[in-house]
Amino acid sequence: MDKNKLTRSGLLGLKWPLKLCLVAVLLLAAIAIVVGFFAHPLLAILEIVLVLLVLVISFYAFDTLFKQANKYLEDLAFRKGRGEQEALINIPLGMLLYNDDSKNTVQWINPKLQNYFGKEDIIGKTLGEVNPQLEQLLAAKSPQDQPQGLIKIKESQFQCYIQTDLRVIYLLDITNYARIQQQYEDEKIAIGQVFLDNYDELTQTMADRDQSNLTNYVTNQLTDWAKNNSMFIKRVSEDQFIIIAYARSLIQVEKDNFAILDKIRQDTSKKNYPLTLSVGFAYGRDDLSELAREAQKNLDLALGRGGDQAVVKMGDERARFYGGNTNPMEKRTRVRARMISQALRELFNQVDDIYVMGHQNPDMDSLGACLGIHRIAQMNNKKCHIVVEQKNLHTDIARLLNLITQNQELKTDLIAPAAALEQATAHSMLIMVDTSKPSISVSSQLCQKLAEHLVIIDHHRRGEEFPPNPILVYIEPYASSASELITEMVEYQPQTGPSLSKLEATAMLAGISVDTRSFTLRTGTRTFDAASYLRSVGADGTLVQNLLKEKVDSYIQRSHLIDSIMMVTPHIALCNGAEDQIYDSVIAAQAADTLLTLDQIDAAFVITKRADDKISISARSLGDFNVQVIMEEMGGGGHLSNAATQLSATTIAQVKQQLIAIIHQKVEDKHMSITKKSNS
């Protein structure tokens, strides 16, 4: 009820109590007059005159009071109503009334909101036509006592409130506050670390003059780059720089895809000194010391992925990767392999027993690397268990396990994941080979149980998922395989006991052969050195061929996959299996490898359904196209030329559509980058 009505009814309600009081006074006066007549008649007449005079004055006073009160209330009600109308029209808050129909057409807006649309007439238009965000917020049906969200009209930003029962939308202009918020976000401090990946290796054989020229060139390029992007850079050692910048400068550098990486690599390559950079950036935290530690972690992540790339991370968001478009350069020294081998020996002395495992659905490299670690443990007189799930194995792994079970010494050291989880103690150590992601290892629970005694040996580029505190990490993305890395470590172990057996050496050689596609991709001089050593200790090339023989059914399935080929771009091929057909992951990988042998195909993707109902993608390339970044965007990872991912709760058709969109976007970004460089 209106407050004015309440006030008026309250005043009118006082009228009857006042009249009752007056009647009571008159009754008392009448009694006094009657008594006066008996006492003195003249006194009674005087009392009658006085009572009549009081009555006249009282009625006049009451009448005047109520007339003035009514006039005051009517004036107040008029001013209030007029104020409401003026406020509705001139209030500094946008108001919009919409019709209760399926289209939600606009019925009325106040002049304040009309100012933002200028001369544009929006009466009669739907909310979707006025602003698609309004329609989305209305459909969301958020609580009315809370802001429904932010929208943008022209150049202004608004906080939106929707009162659905009255079909009213209130729009509060927060442009100035948004500008202040944006300025705050732009001026957050970002800390970066820049590392010259192969500076030590390059300068070892360089003349002093050439070394000085290279140093000056890199310093000048980084200084100019930092200056052009309003950043501060300081050299802290021969091969490391530190950067301090605002977040807006970092965003600008990200839009340019860290072009400085390509520029320095290309310019130094022309001078026969191919130098690459790794960059780690962090921002979004208030604690500068924590920010510096985060930047160092991101730099370590970039180095763990092979270098020649930048890693940027804000707070708890996912890391963003830039660069990494070249294969990691092979190191010119084996010092690190010797140091890791010695460190592993020292760790063996601190534990009672050892567990080694690879990734789910093991391949020849994964199992071969496990056999290599098993032999290194025996060389150090330590008990080692090979954790493997002997279900749903591919043909080559089944053949190898069959040979292993015929060897009584190896057979007793095979253990299932469940048994290993129950048997492992606080004095056990876990070595994870051919992967650094616990989620795709044979047993993620075992990784959690032995997290404080975990060693990682891998040749894949490190991803964002990584164990928090491994005691030893040996990740070398330049290596062809995990078997290559472990073969080098075997050479630095004490030779008091027997070296690799024929079966172990053969399995490791098969692992190298599979991962290099018979020594055609990702092979360096050390790959052949490792293969040579394995042959010298008894690896059998014929047995390798027998292990890797393909079944007729697998060959037919692979042919069916290849028969579905489509060209996403002139040089990128894609194949996919049927929605109801289950394919082994190895068959999909082999199909992708086969596609690369065809003319004019530089990259290949194969989409199949697995036995666990997940949709798998196997991605391969010849090295010019980075398939790793595409698989990472879809939740996977791997190498620049060899990557994969698995997706749940989806279909092959949906994954195919998503993959094609990402490929087109990456190709377009690459073309834009090339065009920009040519123009500059």
CATH numeric code, 187-323: 3.30.70.270
CA distance 656 to 664: 12
CA distance 60 to 376: 118
Q: Count Cα neighbours of 214 within 13 Å in the Cβ-side half-sphere.
A: 26
Q: Which residue did the predictor score with more confidence, 505 or 612?
A: 505
Helix (H, G, I), strand (E, B) or coil at 585: helix
Asked if pLDDT for residue 111 goes beyond 70, the answer is: yes
Q: What element of type H or E holds 79?
A: helix 41-90
The 10s digit of each residue's pLDDT in 192-224 is 999 998 888 888 878 888 899 999 999 999 999
Q: Please give the pLDDT value at position 679.
A: 62
Helix (H, G, I), strand (E, B) or coil at 470: coil
CATH fold label, 553-679: Diaminopimelate Epimerase; Chain A, domain 1 (3.10.310)
CA distance 397 to 141: 55
Q: Please give the pLDDT value at position 335.
A: 72
CA distance 646 to 292: 34
What Cα–Cα distance (Å) separates residue 196 from each residue in 235, 242, 364, 525?
11, 12, 35, 23
Q: Please give the pLDDT value at position 1.
A: 44
Ramachandran sector of residue 457 (left: φ over 0; alpha: ψ -120 to 50; beta: rest):
beta
CA distance 81 to 678: 69
Asked if pLDDT for residue 622 goes beyond 80, the answer is: yes
Instruction: Enumerate residues 6+ apart whose C-beta is below 8 A from 2.
Output: 77
Q: Which of these ranges, 44-58, 246-260, 425-439, 662-676, has the smallest mean pLDDT?
A: 44-58
Confidence of residue 503 (pLDDT cuts 50, 70, 90): very high
Give Cα 171 distance to the centre of its chain: 32
**Within a 10 A sphere around the Cβ of 146, how many other Cβ atoms?**
8
What would the mean pLDDT of 379-405 be, rounded to a whole number? Answer: 90
Confidence of residue 4 (pLDDT cuts 50, 70, 90): very low
The 10s digit of each residue's pLDDT in 12-67 is 555 566 667 667 776 777 777 677 667 677 766 776 777 777 777 777 777 787 77
CA distance 659 to 644: 12
CA distance 273 to 281: 26
What DSSP state is assigned to residue 318?
P
What DSSP state is assigned to residue 453?
G
Q: Please give the pLDDT value at position 338.
A: 85
Helix (H, G, I), strand (E, B) or coil at 475: strand
**621, β-bridge pairs:** 603
Pick the CATH number of 94-179 from 3.40.30.10, 2.40.30.170, 3.30.43.10, 3.30.450.20: 3.30.450.20
What would the mean pLDDT of 121-130 be, rounded to a whole number? Answer: 86
Q: Please give the pLDDT value at position 533.
A: 93
CA distance 113 to 208: 71
Q: Please give the pLDDT value at position 332.
A: 43
Confidence of residue 489 (pLDDT cuts 50, 70, 90): very high
Q: Which of these ranges, 108-112, 399-403, 529-533, 568-572, has the smallest mean pLDDT?
A: 108-112
CA distance 471 to 473: 7
Q: Please give the pLDDT value at position 7.
A: 47
Mean predicted lDDT score pLDDT of the chain:
85
Instruction: Enumerate residues 6+ apart whose C-beta is below 8 A from 313.
Output: 281, 282, 294, 298, 319, 320
CA distance 574 to 559: 14
CA distance 265 to 79: 77
- In terms of pTM, does the model score above 0.75? no
Which one of 16-30, 209-223, 541-555, 639-653 scores highest in mean pLDDT?
Answer: 209-223
Q: What is 335-547's CATH superfamily?
A: inorganic pyrophosphatase (n-terminal core) (3.90.1640.10)
**Within a 10 A sphere around the Cβ of 26, how many other Cβ atoms?**
14
Q: What element of type H or E holds 122?
A: none
Asked if pLDDT for residue 429 goes beyond 90, the answer is: yes
What would the mean pLDDT of 448-465 be, rounded to a whole number? Answer: 89
Domain spans of the chain, in order of start: 3-90, 94-179, 187-323, 335-547, 553-679
Q: Which residue did the predictor score with more confidence, 129 or 16?
A: 129
Asked if pLDDT for residue 3 goes beyond 50, the answer is: no
Domains 94-179 and 187-323 share a fold: no
